[in-house]
Structure 1
Amino acid sequence: MNWSMTFMRDADIFFPYGTLERRTDVQNRNYSAIFDQKTKFAAWFVGNCITPNKREKYVEELQRAGVEVDIYGGCCKKGHRLPRFNNEAAKKTLDRYKFYLSFENSNCEDYVTEKLFSNYNYDVIQLVMGGADYKRLLPNNSYIDTADFKNATKMAAYLNVLGNNKDKYIEMLQNKHQLVWNGHNTFDEASYSKSFCTLCEKLNNLDSNRRVYRSMNDHYRISRCPPFTKAEPYYH
């Protein structure tokens, strides 16, 4: 193989699922009204019910610890419709919730997908699970990472306090709105264009960009996408 073109940040051509940009417009929002319209606690849009990092088990633990999580999509037993690829429906749904579960299906290094990006612009605090460096990606005090808690019970206790603290919640939402996702549905044109422009640049300068990988296995080390084992918590 000559080049890698993946979501991993050390790829020859970085090809992320999306990117967030700093806002250039001034946000003049009635955050108090935004908070007051939220009558539900947490939502999760999901269709993959059995995953490598066992995120579904973590959600079950959250529910047992008293967190109300409404599940939309194929993994829901109550028939909630998944408003996927419909920005208006997704916004209308998430406007009622305080939290949204942006849980990846595996904790691979740098792996962060449309689960984070396509729901970023809505007025909801995201709970994240995955192998990405969220501190680099997101504004400080604007999201909640499962890896910051010893277990789901500890996280549930924190969420229940935060969900009833209007000032703290609004502060986090304001921090989140420092950035914006400029994609459409799950397609991020800006990120895709930048990656293919990088590919064109390399193709036009082959002599200075020649690479050879003799082993795909060595390049994509298993350690970059750790398998779940019972000896290791699935939320780390």
Structure 2
Amino acid sequence: MAYFYIRLGKVAKLVFLLPGIILLYLSFDSDSSTSLDNHGRQSASRWLMSLYESNRNYVFKSKKRDGTKQTILLFGMKPHWKEFCKYPEMSHCKDLINFPRDVFCPTLNQSITITFSESAEDIRGADVVLFTNVYNWMTPDMWTWIHGNRSDGQPWALVSLESPLYVPGMTPPEQYRDTTYTWVASYKTDSDLTLPYGYYESYGENKPPEIDLKPFVTNKTKLIAWMSSNCGTLQWDRHRFVNDLKEIIQVDKYGKCGEQEVPWNDAKAVRATLGQYKFYLSLENSCCDDYVSEKFWRTLEMGVIPVVVGASREQYTKIAPPNSFIHVDQFASLAELAIHLTVISNDEDQYLEYFKWRNQGRIVVYSQEVQYVVPLMEKTHCSLFQHYMQTNRSEDKTVEYMGKRWFGSCDSCGDKWIQSYKL
């Protein structure tokens, strides 16, 4: 199952040329009993050429006019990627940091070349440019330089699984805010290429035998856990939120923000630790539209009920399995939330209501290691190139960086008392 979804502007219309091509072929086939007369041939030819002219921006090309392969340029990357992909346990991704390299895209039945550079002059001539470095590394002068080297009609794609608040390296200076990016590839459902941390799919007609839900409550001897290594956040004070809740009800804290460290990349250790709990505080570092990160999906995977702050309740409902989470906006106060957690923790039937979705569908969750290198992965590049091939260049519009499609989507954490934790 692919981990991405493509949002096409307009699907390639080459298929609509086929009737004309067949008609034109028959018109020139002197042996065919269905051959057209000269007038018919001329009419068919004019019709086909007019259709081609109106759709020529959609026609697929496997190579450039000079015969070279088409190219995606990664302009900058996270410095840690180079180190991360060289770890022995991450040997399967070592090729992701080798440039240039050719990548075969099955859906397009062609190969493309992936290159990397941090030099502005290398931007000129690339078919697509990907911006993936989330750190603040480009000076205003460099932004001016890269814009000066941009080829006419060249699409630039912002590729990030992190929220806009945590990608300063992708923020253009004010004079380029609305003229830099053509596409967005991110967790947002309205992205040109959506890169979810996980997703839910209903079984439909292929529903397997129902499973017993009792094991999801058995041996859970502890109440609420929270694990984090990032204690300071930019948009809201989640650490204060946890401490305030801890004054009302038992909350155990792990990671750098707690009393006990658990390696984030040790799945067995994380599962052994958090699997003892009935609830997990799945608190995002940002409250942005559709921002539902691996915290949420991994909590569901472990069989624990997530208590969430991040995207709106409506957006969680749209993305998540039905009745699988508890959102803070369901309650009038922090105390009311604490009471609800206490009540259902002592009522097995109410607790298991949050697990009934497991007999209706399944979740697909990607490991943190995979999510970390998604901007480098061949599937991402092929999907973006498919978008490039299947959209009309003349209809591309640049993204308003501070608008709702990106930065402006991070406007608030909930609509009730949780607002008091806003920084």
Instruction: Judge same fold: TM > 0.5, yes or no.
Output: yes
Q: Distance in 2 between matches of 1:153 and 1:176?
A: 30
SS at match of 2:242: helix
Question: Corresponding residue for 1:172?
Answer: 354
Deviations 1:137-156 (A, max 9, x none): 12332210012112211100
Matches within 5 A, 1:153-232: 153-175=335-357, 178-185=361-368, 187=370, 196-207=381-392, 210-213=395-398, 215-218=400-403, 220=405, 223-226=408-411, 232=419
CA contact (8 A) 2:198 2:363 kept: no
Report the CA distance between 1:33 and its aligned residue.
4.2
SS at match of 2:183: coil
CA spacing shift, 1:179–1:203, aligned 2, 3 Å? same
Indicate which of 207, 230, 248 corresponds to 1:48: 230
Indicate which of 271, 274, 280 corresponds to 1:100: 280
Farther-moved stretch of structure 1 (48-57 vs 38-47): 48-57
Report the CA distance between 1:105 and its aligned residue.
0.9
Question: Corresponding residue for 1:116?
Answer: 296
Indicate which of 54, 62, 67 corresponds to 2:245: 62
Unaligned runs of 5+ in 1: none
Report the CA distance between 1:18 and its aligned residue.
2.8
CA spacing shift, 1:163–1:186, aligned 2, 3 Å? farther
CA contact (8 A) 1:143 1:176 kept: no
Q: Distance in 2 between matches of 1:231 and 1:5?
A: 29
Instruction: Kindly indicate whether structure 1 or structure 2 has the higher relative contact order, using CA contacts under 8 Å at least 6 residues apart.
Output: 1
Report the CA distance between 1:53 and its aligned residue.
1.8
Q: Distance in 1 between matches of 2:363 and 2:286?
A: 25
Indicate which of 211, 221, 224 corresponds to 1:28: 211
Aligned pair count?
Answer: 230
Q: Distance in 2 between matches of 1:44 and 1:211?
A: 43
Q: Distance in 2 between matches of 1:201 and 1:38?
A: 47
Which structure has the bigger radius of gyration? 2
CA spacing shift, 1:186–1:34, aligned 2, 3 Å? same
CA spacing shift, 1:207–1:194, aligned 2, 3 Å? same
CA contact (8 A) 2:403 2:409 kept: no
Aligned partner of 2:190: which letter?
D
Aligned partner of 1:175: which letter?
W
Aligned partner of 1:53: which letter?
W
Q: Distance in 1 between matches of 2:354 and 2:255?
A: 27
Q: Distance in 2 between matches of 1:96 and 1:219?
A: 39
Aligned Cα RMSD in Å? Answer: 3.0
Identical-residue share of aligned pairs (%): 28
Farther-moved stretch of structure 1 (169-178 vs 192-201): 192-201
Q: Distance in 1 between matches of 2:394 and 2:384?
A: 10
SS at match of 1:41: strand
CA spacing shift, 1:104–1:196, aligned 2, 3 Å? same
Q: Distance in 2 between matches of 1:207 and 1:63?
A: 54
Report the CA distance between 1:114 and its aligned residue.
1.2
Q: Distance in 1 between matches of 2:282 and 2:333?
A: 17
Q: Distance in 1 between matches of 2:418 and 2:294?
A: 29
CA contact (8 A) 2:308 2:326 kept: yes
Q: Distance in 2 between matches of 1:136 and 1:200?
A: 28
Deviations 1:180-228 (A, max 9, x none): 2242345359997775443121222343674131743346565421267
Q: Distance in 2 between matches of 1:94 and 1:107?
A: 24
Q: Distance in 2 between matches of 1:182 and 1:171?
A: 22
Question: Corresponding residue for 2:329?
Answer: 147
Q: Distance in 2 between matches of 1:221 and 1:183?
A: 23
Unaligned runs of 5+ in 2: 1-180
Report the CA distance between 1:6 and its aligned residue.
2.0
Q: Distance in 2 between matches of 1:2 and 1:142?
A: 36
Going by fraction, where is helix more abundant, 1 or 2? 2
Report the CA distance between 1:20 and its aligned residue.
2.9
* Residue 126 (str. 1) matches residue 306 (str. 2): yes
Output the TM-score relative to the length of structure 2: 0.49
Aligned partner of 2:420: which letter?
P
CA spacing shift, 1:39–1:232, aligned 2, 3 Å? closer
CA contact (8 A) 1:5 1:14 kept: yes
Q: Distance in 1 between matches of 2:393 and 2:303?
A: 46
Question: Corresponding residue for 2:194?
Answer: 14
Aligned partner of 1:61: which letter?
D
SS at match of 1:158: helix
Report the CA distance between 1:174 and its aligned residue.
2.8
Aligned partner of 1:102: which letter?
S
Report the CA distance between 1:34 and its aligned residue.
3.8
Indicate which of 214, 220, 223 corresponds to 1:38: 220
